[in-house]
């Protein structure tokens, strides 16, 4: 059993598309539930009624000519709603919140990929999110070329799917290199919060590494 958590615990998953975040989040959720923990799953963008509408606009490949700063503003509008509606209420009840992407994604994709820089993201996070930071961030970071290849394959498989969420997957390699480099910068800057998980292992090996990290952090928090 996990040690009892006396207060909420906020855990985020980060990484490039194709890094295996969704799979590992699901496996961790199953493990935590088996350990008797009360968890809440959410994602960004999305997770709320308003957020799902923002997500559809942001990720649809038919969304054209969206200015980088407009994109940034939409990301934080979604996040502010999720914090108010899902994250803060769950944390106040002592639950463990697992979130697929958070502000690190915005710093990586908009700050790095769109070349807006980190300062505007950090400033907006303070203003729009009250500075709420995860207790732990798991950054899945496979080899860059392999991760990009996975994302491209996923994009090809998704072609023709009724839900189109491929706008970012259409970006070129230079865009993704900037995203990757920004993630590395964040990890170096915040080594206590951000734990880098080598994504080039098997799914089960990655899961066991994540369980090891999370178990220790919950013990420390309790």
Domain boundaries, the chain: 9-221
| pLDDT tens digits along 138-163 | 999 988 888 777 766 765 555 555 56
The whole-number pLDDT of residue 123 equals 98
Inter-residue contact 75 to 114 (CB < 8 Å): no
Inter-residue contact 86 to 47 (CB < 8 Å): yes
> Which parts of the chain register pLDDT below 50?
4-5
Inter-residue contact 86 to 102 (CB < 8 Å): no
Q: SS3 of 165, please?
A: coil
The whole-number pLDDT of residue 162 equals 54
Q: Report the b/e string of 157-187 with b at 16+ CB within 10 A.
A: eeeeeeeebbbbbeeeeebbebbbebbbebb
Residues 160 and 113: their CA atoms lie apart, in Å, by 26
Q: Which CATH number fits domain 9-221: 3.40.50.300, 3.40.50.1860, 3.30.360.10, 3.60.20.10?
A: 3.40.50.300
Q: Is the peptide bond before 80 cis (omega within 30 degrees of 0)?
A: no
Residues 110 and 49: their CA atoms lie apart, in Å, by 23
Residue 207 in tokens: 């899961």
Residue 102: is it exposed, middle or buried by C-beta count within 10 angstroms (0-12/13-18/19+)?
Answer: buried
The whole-number pLDDT of residue 144 equals 86
- 66-70 contacts: CB < 8 A, separation 24 or more? 68/110, 68/114, 68/115, 68/116, 69/116
Inter-residue contact 10 to 134 (CB < 8 Å): yes
The whole-number pLDDT of residue 165 equals 67
Rounded to the nearest 5 degrees, what angle is found at the Cα of 184, between the Cα atoms of 127 and 204?
A: 105
């Amino acid at each position: 059993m996990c040690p009892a958590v006396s207060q909420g615990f906020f855990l985020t998953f980060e990484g490039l598309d194709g890094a295996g975040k969704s799979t590992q989040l699901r496996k961790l959720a199953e493990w935590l539930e088996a350990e008797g923990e009360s968890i809440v799953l959410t994602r960004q963008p999305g997770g709320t009624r308003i957020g799902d509408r923002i997500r559809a606009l942001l990720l649809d490949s038919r969304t054209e000519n969206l200015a980088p700063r407009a994109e940034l503003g939409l990301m934080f509008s979604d996040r502010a709603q999720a914090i108010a509606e899902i994250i803060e209420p769950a944390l106040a009840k002592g639950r463990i919140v697992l979130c697929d992407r958070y502000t690190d994604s915005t710093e990586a994709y908009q700050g790095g990929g769109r070349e807006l820089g980190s300062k505007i993201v950090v400033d907006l996070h303070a203003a729009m999110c009250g500075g709420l930071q995860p207790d732990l961030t798991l950054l899945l970071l496979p080899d860059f070329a392999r991760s990009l290849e996975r994302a491209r394959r996923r994009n090809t498989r998704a072609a023709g799917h009724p839900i189109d969420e491929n706008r970012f997957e259409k970006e070129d390699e230079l865009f993704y290199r900037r995203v990757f480099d920004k993630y590395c910068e964040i990890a170096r800057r915040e080594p206590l919060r951000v734990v880098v998980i080598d994504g080039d292992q098997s799914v089960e090996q990655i899961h066991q590494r994540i369980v090891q990290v999370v178990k220790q952090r919950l013990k420390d928090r309790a």
